[in-house]
Structure 1
Amino acid sequence: MQEHISVLFCEDSTDDFLLMKLSLQHLENPVLCERVQQTETLREMLKSQLFDLYILDYDIPGYHIYDFLDIIKSYDSDASVIVVSGTITEEQVMKALERGASDYVMKDNLQRLPYAVRNEFINSRTRRSLKTSREKAGKTADLLRVYLENVDDIICTKSTDGTISYVSPSCKDVFGISDEELVGKSYLDFVHPDDHKLMRDFLEKMVGEGGTTRSIQYRFQHGEGYFIWLETKARLVVDRRMNTRDLICTSKNITKVKNAEQALAASEKRFKVLIENSTDIFSLVGSDGNVQYHSPAFYALTGYTERDALNKSAFEFLHVQDRERMQKQFNEALESDGTLQLDVYRFRTADGRFLYFESKINNQLDDPDINAVVVSTRDITKRILSEQQVAYQEHNIEKLSEATIGYLNLSVSDNHYDYIGRQLTDIIPHSVVVVNRFNEEDNVLVCESLYGIEPLNKSISRYATQITKGTVFTPNQESTEELRSGKLIHLQQGLYKLLFGMYPKRVCDYVQDIVGIRDVYSMGLVWKGKLYGNVVIIAFEKAPRVNTGVIQTFISVASVALQRKQSEDVLLHSLQEKEVMLKEIHHRVKNNLQIVSSLLELQTFQLQDPAVRLLFSESQTRVRSMAMVHEKIYQSNDLASINYNDYLEQLITYLFESYMPKNVNPVIEAENIMVNIDTAVPLGIIVNELVTNSLKYAFPNGNQGKIYITMRDSGDKLELVVEDDGVGLPEAVRNGNSSTLGLELVHALVQQLDGEIAIESREGTRFTILVDN
């Protein structure tokens, strides 16, 4: 569709207007025509619309042509104006053209008007297009100038040999050098010497590759002397004939970025060195538990390769007893955002051992750069084993203390050798413990205690006699001297050295390997140079490491205990001999007193005087009461005291059998009190005298009655009460004025015992005697 031409006619004649409008219909482009006759109408029209072409009548009544021409130019300075007139001079035409008209046409030659309109329309469009282009170019130049003056990047041009031809003003802020100082100088003068070759190679490539845009990073010397990092993008400008002209370069200060990159690279390098040289293990584990990465420490510690460990479940390497617990804690970590400390667990190494690990895990699954659970692991096997060893040593020390106390509680009849074996087996599990007794006469060791021997005997039985209790070993002189040293000896030759060459060495070595014997120890039970036996410890592979100090102390204490046992055996034997001797003495004293009693009895038969016979009979009962005490002593296990209840019953029975009262009965109430011999004999004589007196004087003429004998322990005193319900004592006797031998003897014996005596006689007689217990 062709473009319309808009035309505004300033014409007072309607006919002329129609005639000119008609002439324009022959143009290829459709013409849209408007008409004004007054300047006021023209001004209002131009306020709302401008036209491609203005046709102005030179003669409009009431107006001058310049009135219309100035208004048009004021609104549209590039307007194309064609002046038409019927009568216009050449001078008027020139003035109109100078005033802004573009062409003129005479009204009598209107066939020229379409051509003039067409030409002016084309010229108008051309002028307007050039004006628009110039305006745009001007604006672009202004924008470029403002951009170059304010942009942080440096814009510069330079020749292919590096000579600077232009640089943007912002170079002062970035380089610390003004553009005047840079223009005309070689760019290489400001490049770091180490980057010269890099820059030359860059310029050569730019020239060789034509219009390709390339970039380079290098160091540029700042006006203050230090170097900054620049990133420059350059493009080679060529003309239509492909002749190179200049390089257009855009440079950016990347010092901060470069420093950050270098710092990051250094940090990454340090981190890499840290990871690769750390003894801790760093791992990345997926949400499914499969291992994505292990740091080098893992492989060095466990013996696995990447092929063995990566893309496999981390839990399959854990001890079977720890897997479920650690899987549960791992699942808890997946639901947590923080760091979770895991429990201690056991990890299987490539050679089948188990190490103790402790780990911290941090869930980084939401971080797209990591997308894994970060696990940091530390090998704490030495710490755990040390703690176990400390606990084991504390256990040993505790057992040593208990065993030492146990030694003190052992009786002479207990098997001390077996006690040593039992205690050492508890302290050192997974071991054979043999305790031998040394027979000095035959210079042999006899097995007295044997624990944990079954695995060893099972292997030895194929080649030799099994070791059992009672097995006799014959040590050579060197071995005996080693045992007498009283030191715990680590036998380097193992079973062969231990068994004193009883079995071939190859058999001992073979058995030692088959059974899995790790260490063999031996120590003599020695005290003050005397050898009582020896202790043998055969530790298997599973046995805990022996603390030689604890074991040596234990065996030394055992040696003292054995020495004490032998001393006690000697002392016991001596005491038994003395006990027999004392019993024999008491027995002989009792027999001698019995002989004296018998002599008194025989003498009594020869006496005629009843009073004298009575005196002899009383002396006989006194001797008999003393004999009974010695009889009780040699019949008792305790040679220092007797059970006084038994003694009283025997003594009272004897007195009643001697005097044979018809109507008098004894009543004995005595506690089971042990009374030493120094008190028992005087008290026996006192009881003899008081009961005898009651039998003789308390019940005259065959009166009936009872005699009460009571013995009580009141703490620090012994209370003896002899009481009867007879006729009572005479007044003189109650007042202590009796001249009879019996009562005088009672008072004398109470005084000898530092005791007290009280006499009561109302309806009978009561003697109360208190002596020290």
Structure 2
Amino acid sequence: MSEIEVDQELLLDQTNTQIFIFIDEQTYYIANKAHADFLGLDKSEFGNVSIYDIFTKDVADYFFKDNKKIFKIKEKIHTREWFKNSKGVSRLLSITKTPKLDSCNNVEYIICSAEDITEKNQSEKQKKKSEELFREITKNMVEMICLTDKNGNFVYAGPTYKSNLGYNPEHLIGKSVFNFVHPDDLDRIKSEFNSLLETLIPRKSEYRCLHADGHYLWLETYGNFIYDDIGNIKKIVFTGRDITKRKQLEQKLKNTYEIINNSLVVAFLWKNDEESGWPVEYVSNNVVDIFGYYVDDFNDDKLSYADIIHPDDIERVKSEVETYSENPDRFKFQHKPYRIITKNRNIRWVDDRTTIIRNDCGEITHYQGVILDITDRKMAEEKLMENKKMLDDTFESIQDGISVIDTDFNVIRANSKMGEWYKVNTPLEGKKCYQVYHNNDKPCDYCPTSRALKTGKTETNIVPGLPNSKIEWLEIYSYPMNDRYTGEILGVVEFVRDITEKTKTERQLEKYSTELKQINEELENRVQKQTEEIKNAERLRVLELHHRIKNNLQVISSLLNLQSEKFNDDTVNEAFRDTQNRVISMSLVHQKIYHTKGLESINIRDYIEDLVEHLISLYNGENILIKIDIQDAYFGIDTIIPLGMLINELVSNSLKYAYSEDEYGELNVIFYETEPGIYTLIVSDNGKGIPEDIDLDNPGSLGLQLIKSLVDQINGDFKLHGNNGTEFVINFSC
């Protein structure tokens, strides 16, 4: 830049940073294009104009108050405020106001720069850092890094403090960082530290730091925060590096580039010499902050601009320069984003605004540009694309149907499974869901999506498929989608499952269950009638009657056997066999009465042993070790029959369901009198057990219903234990 004067106004207009200058508390001196565009004005309207002519009174009062403060304290201030742009959209701006002092130390004017940090602010709120990982990373960092508490006391110092400042990191713990700041910088650094805590905005600071050998080095530090899980400040993290050489160079900078050096963009002036890689004749000092290079790195053609462009992008950049330079009327252009290689060999994406400089003959002599680091934005865009692809892949891989439907019942998106099921009506997107899915001209009466849009809750229903389709029944779950900020319902996601086969099976089982219930009722009525007839028989014929009852029950068992042969369904045949076993358990009672001398009671031990022996032979239980421990006790027929049916149900269930085929197990049947007139029956196995969530008060299976009924008949209660198998404990009085 030694011989070429750069147009300051062009430089200011090429940056996205809003730059504006006040010459007193309320008067604009100049504003760049970015500031004018934000407010929807022409930049020519800002010359010597009052802020009260530009802003509403509230906003103008805010600027007036800040400007008045700066003219008084003569120090830079930083604020973060929400402002509405020309479109009426609120944006968060980070505003830095720097007073320019004259030789008498009076404020001559105020330089203001404003950055739109809306997205950055949202991103920072989501950041969480792992302290353990942080400490591991710092071991390999060239820069100095430390953690302090809110008072500025060291709680951690990285190993590079030894190589940079000569201090043993362990000796710094508990000491105040302010003990090492140059006395002339101390008040300013304390003020900046307090401002960091007040604004919660990460910031850079530069100051002189005491080296262990007694001399001072210039450091550049960057302060940020580590938050806990609930958003409170946990620690303050500072990264720092030695900028002593850079500070020596900064003393030579020209005032012309003071504004640029306070912004987030890097200014370059390149000589029009593509073969030499566009030699750099000027670069703003903040290049070290953005890309890690010092200004001196580009002096004397040590580095050309082409040297720091990524090799994969250089040919495209050259082509764009050639294309834009061919038009003699063009004086500005913008590259597509390309990559810069930083000094530490990192890759940064950049966006630039380039001005073409021609001499009086129209020949291009230089290119002047400003470079903005857009790496964070680029990475966010790539992450968004990656997440979108993952969502798309997941959306299509699900084997159930999925539809996204808006509040007007339009199908916004449907996966391939829905397209397969409703191929006749494809494409599905853009059409009403009730038209393409149900051939209706209005929302369906049974529609769960319609209900979900009204209630804001998940709704479900089973609905018919399209006529003449192999899919007869569908189960639909409708999940409402809400705006994360307002809670407004935006639409519904439908998950659709083909349950045609499931529905057919359930209906067939329901039919079989009804038939079985009718058969059981018929048999129970027949047994009850015969039992009533036996009760009214003459006592002298009790033995004969019991004998006949036994025979009749055997006939019933045979009838059930014949009846079951008419059905091929295993579930129905199993129900018949269960009923046969219940009949046989009653038959054994009458057989015992017939063969015993006493007519009024039966020995429970003999009865249980015979009943269990019959069940073992019936269910082929050779692999099951049977342990029977029964006390002698005698019961009348009104007790022995329900007790026998209980034992039949419990032992049968263990033999049928507790073990897989050929699996060895153990079955215990225990009966004893706990106290006079109080008895306990225990039937247990070490098999698979039964579901823990079964509702004993409202059992669903016929077996459990029968067990509950039989326990009630003997005035008892029962408990069920499911650990390491199944154990029924029945207590009753007699």
TM-score normalized by the length of structure 1:
0.33
